[in-house]
């Protein structure tokens, strides 16, 4: 299985194409194959001499005299690394496709694919047969279209301040959120003499974005002249509560509103809706959370594989007596003589402070609880039970993976599992396996 770094990796000082060995409990182990260049595997958009470029970071500067010598450049980086398993993402797509049956299925990759890297994840899904994608805005759509010119890309935030001409030129399909956006696109179509493809967001109960029932009725078909409406989109407010009566009310409202609009694909269900039964999937389901393997319902969703593994290197190991207070304000009190491993990961890396109570870090198979809380870039772990000599500077602690998934952390934070995952993914370097 090959590994590839994300395009930010080299800008952050990582080795070129070869991530540090996760070792000590990594579910993937070191690669024995030739590393794949991150720009080839994950898509370095906008790379150019002197500036580079990729998924949000500058590329490597040209080598100059006085640069670090090779031995120093190869030194392991003391930062956490998020490993993304593209095979797991493709397997989750296949599981969702089976649930969709004969209905359409699309992929939601908003917010840089939940922090996991838009281009790398999109290319993996394209290889599995996905052709329809949802992103936040025109900027994300441009990145995705540059990597996959044949993809059909919807923008969930509508025009979001962009010009209709820019969407038409890319092309990308805005899911229009207001009568004003509908009017702007209609004027563009009239000026160019060409129909413009759009989707319509319908507010059936969430109250966040979209046309109200009254607004949709006023538009009817006459207010949509020049527009080719390809999808009518809404989102369940109680997506994580399959038996909530509000879900059925929203579905009925969607059908009622659709009856007053041009015929188009109905898109109601996101990931959780796929597991609620065929009557919820309609014409075009939108899989997002399910693709990364997070559970987003009070009812367990079988067949999903977490695609992430977060590891952090040990900076230092210290010995402390029983009774010693550690951390800010002495938050941790040692009940026994302890060996404490301080790892390079903290809330600046997206690791929430709730991880101190809810996290399940380990070295290999040995649990290593957090001591003294989560600081900005450092966290102390109790490595006393790890074998002597197994934990030292550079050793890797596993903070999150399929055995210690993000759901427990999200529960402690009282939020959806995507919240900590997206925060971590946006902050740390990513490498990819299974590409």
CATH number, domain with residue 316: 2.40.37.10
Clarify whether 328 is annotated catalytic.
Answer: yes
Give the residue from 308, 330, 334, 282 showing the smallest Cα distance to 418.
308
Task: Indicate if 238 and 129 belong to the same structural domain.
Answer: yes
Task: Indicate if 279 and 404 belong to the same structural domain.
Answer: no
**Structure confidence at residue 429 (pLDDT):** 97
Sign of dihedral through CA atoms 159, 161, 167, 172?
Answer: negative
**Structure confidence at residue 389 (pLDDT):** 84
Task: Indicate if 12 and 145 belong to the same structural domain.
Answer: no
**Structure confidence at residue 103 (pLDDT):** 83
Task: Indicate if 244 and 326 belong to the same structural domain.
Answer: no
Task: Indicate if 73 and 91 belong to the same structural domain.
Answer: no
| Structural domain contains residue 302 | no
| Structural domain contains residue 301 | no
Mean pLDDT of 259-281: 94
Taking CB atoms within 8 Å and a gap of at least 24, the contacts of 210-213 are 210/177, 210/234, 211/176, 211/177, 211/178, 211/179, 211/182, 211/257, 213/253, 213/256, 213/257
Residue written as token pair 């696109």: 185
**Structure confidence at residue 231 (pLDDT):** 98
Q: How far apart are CA 81 and CA 9, in angstroms?
A: 10
Between 247 and 388, whose confidence is greater?
A: 247
pLDDT in tens, 383-398: 999 998 889 999 999 9
Task: Indicate if 243 and 157 belong to the same structural domain.
Answer: yes
Q: How far apart are CA 381 and CA 363, in angstroms?
A: 10
Report the SS3 class of residue 412.
helix
Q: How far apart are CA 224 and CA 382, in angstroms?
A: 63
Task: Indicate if 234 and 332 belong to the same structural domain.
Answer: no
Which residue range is the domain that position 200 belongs to? 85-292
Q: Which residues contact 233 (CB under 8 A, 6 or more apart)?
A: 154, 156, 175, 199, 200, 201, 202, 210, 267
| Structural domain contains residue 300 | no
Task: Indicate if 141 and 73 belong to the same structural domain.
Answer: no
**Structure confidence at residue 6 (pLDDT):** 57
| Structural domain contains residue 327 | yes
Q: Which residues contact 114 (CB under 8 A, 6 or more apart)?
A: 288, 289, 292, 418, 421, 422, 425
Mean pLDDT of 100-122: 95
| Structural domain contains residue 297 | no
Q: Give the domain-ending residue among 267, 292, 317.
A: 292
Task: Indicate if 319 and 396 belong to the same structural domain.
Answer: yes
Residue from 239, 328, 430, 432 carrying the catalytic annotation: 328
| Structural domain contains residue 268 | yes
* Lowest mean pLDDT across 68-72, 121-125, 416-420: 68-72
| Structural domain contains residue 156 | yes
Report the SS3 class of residue 135.
strand
pLDDT in tens, 298-347: 889 999 999 999 999 999 999 999 999 999 999 999 999 999 999 999 99
Q: How far apart are CA 226 and CA 189, in angstroms?
A: 5
* Lowest mean pLDDT across 42-46, 58-62, 211-215, 288-292: 58-62
pLDDT in tens, 136-183: 999 999 999 999 999 999 999 999 999 999 999 999 999 999 999 999
| Structural domain contains residue 99 | yes
Provide the strand spans (E) within 73-189: 81-85, 104-108, 132-135, 152-155, 173-176
Task: Indicate if 36 and 90 belong to the same structural domain.
Answer: no
**Structure confidence at residue 35 (pLDDT):** 32
Residue 368 has pLDDT above 70, yes or no: yes
Residue from 110, 114, 347, 432 carrying the catalytic annotation: 110
> What are the angstrom distances between the C-alpha of 254 and each of 212, 247, 297, 306?
11, 11, 22, 32
Q: Give the domain-ending residue among 240, 260, 292.
A: 292
Task: Indicate if 260 and 140 belong to the same structural domain.
Answer: yes
The CA-based diameter of the chain, rounded to the nearest angstrom, is: 79
Band (pLDDT 50/70/90 cuts) for residue 76 is low
Mean pLDDT of 270-294: 95
| Tokens representing residue 189 in the block | 């179509």
Q: How far apart are CA 162 and CA 262, in angstroms?
A: 24
Q: How is residue 101 annotated by DSSP?
A: T
Q: Give the domain-ending residue among 251, 266, 292.
A: 292
Number of domains in the chain: 2
Task: Indicate if 316 and 393 belong to the same structural domain.
Answer: yes
CATH of the domain at 144: 3.20.20.10
Share of the chain above pLDDT 90, in %: 78
Band (pLDDT 50/70/90 cuts) for residue 75 is low
Residue written as token pair 């595997």: 41
């Amino acid at each position: 299985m090959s590994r590839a770094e994300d395009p930010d990796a080299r800008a952050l000082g990582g080795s070129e194409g070869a991530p540090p060995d996760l070792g000590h409990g990594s579910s993937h182990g070191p690669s024995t194959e030739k590393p794949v260049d991150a720009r080839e595997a994950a898509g370095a958009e906008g790379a150019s001499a002197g500036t580079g470029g990729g998924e949000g970071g500058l590329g490597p500067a040209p080598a100059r005299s006085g640069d670090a010598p090779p031995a120093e450049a190869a030194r392991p980086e003391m930062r956490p690394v998020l490993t993304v398993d593209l095979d797991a993402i493709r397997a989750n797509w296949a599981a969702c496709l089976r649930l969709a049956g004969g209905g359409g299925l699309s992929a939601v990759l908003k917010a840089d694919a939940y922090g996991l890297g838009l281009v790398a994840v999109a290319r993996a899904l394209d290889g599995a047969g996905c052709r329809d994608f949802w992103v936040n805005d025109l900027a994300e759509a441009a990145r995705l279209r540059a990597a996959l010119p044949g993809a059909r890309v919807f923008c969930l935030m509508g025009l979001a301040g962009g010009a209709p001409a820019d969407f038409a030129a890319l092309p990308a399909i805005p899911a229009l959120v207001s009568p004003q956006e509908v009017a702007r696109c209609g004027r563009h179509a009239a000026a160019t003499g060409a129909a413009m493809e759009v989707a319509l967001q319908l507010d059936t109960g969430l109250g966040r974005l979209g046309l109200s029932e009254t607004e949709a009725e006023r538009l009817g078909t006459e207010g949509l002249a020049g527009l080719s409406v390809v999808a009518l989109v809404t989102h369940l407010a109680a997506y994580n509560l399959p038996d909530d009566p509000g879900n059925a009310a929203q579905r009925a409202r969607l059908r009622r509103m659709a009856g007053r609009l041009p015929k188009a694909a109905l898109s109601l269900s996101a990931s959780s809706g796929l597991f609620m039964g065929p009557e919820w999937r309609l014409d075009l389901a939108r899989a997002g959370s399910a693709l990364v393997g997070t559970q987003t319902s009070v009812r367990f969703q079988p067949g999903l594989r977490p695609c992430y593994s977060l590891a952090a290197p040990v900076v230092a190991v210290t010995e402390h007596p029983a009774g010693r207070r550690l951390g800010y304000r002495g938050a941790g009190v040692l009940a026994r003589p302890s060996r404490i491993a301080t790892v390079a990961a903290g809330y600046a890396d997206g690791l929430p402070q709730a991880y101190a109570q809810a996290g399940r870090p380990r070295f290999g198979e040995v649990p290593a609880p957090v001591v003294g809380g989560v600081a900005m870039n450092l966290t102390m772990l109790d490595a006393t039970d790890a074998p002597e000599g197994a934990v030292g500077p550079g050793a890797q602690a596993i903070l999150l993976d399929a055995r210690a998934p993000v759901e427990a952390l999200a529960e402690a934070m009282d939020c959806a599992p995507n919240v900590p995952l997206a925060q971590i993914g946006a902050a740390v370097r990513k490498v990819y396996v299974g590409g």
